[in-house]
Amino acid sequence: MKIYDKPVIVIGVLIFLAIFAFPLWTALGTTPPQPKVELPKDMKECVAPTEYMKSSHMQLLNEWRDSVVRDGNRVWVSHTGKQYNMSLTNECLRCHNEKSKFCDQCHNYVGVVPFCWDCHTYPKEAK
């Protein structure tokens, strides 16, 4: 049995693959612009170094949650020896009080939906 339409099928498959892979080719070597996060103007330092907070703030918040809820510890001592209240609402949101200008910028960029707001209320946006 011979397939007489073989060249047409091969050409059709190649056209399909070219159309399917087009978005990959157009985005090759480009990255979306990084978010421009507005940091609090009145605060000079965070509870941990910036690079650590960029990569590991969720682990820190999980450790804080477990320490407060399970062990009853409410005070955390930073690498500089300064003491902080382990609280998203009373510590983090005191400085980072505009969720849309701080939290949402990075979370949208990386496509993450944090579960912080399952228990905590959204901070009131500053006007």
pLDDT in tens, the chain (127 residues): 567 788 888 999 999 999 999 988 887 777 778 888 777 777 778 899 988 998 999 999 999 999 999 999 999 999 889 999 999 888 888 888 888 888 888 898 888 998 888 887 777 665 5
Whether the CB-CB separation of 36 and 106 falls below 8 Å is answered with no
Q: Which of 90, 89, 100 is nearest to 126 (CA)?
A: 100
Q: Which of 58, 44, 49 is nearest to 80 (CA)?
A: 49
Is the pTM higher than 0.75? The answer reads no
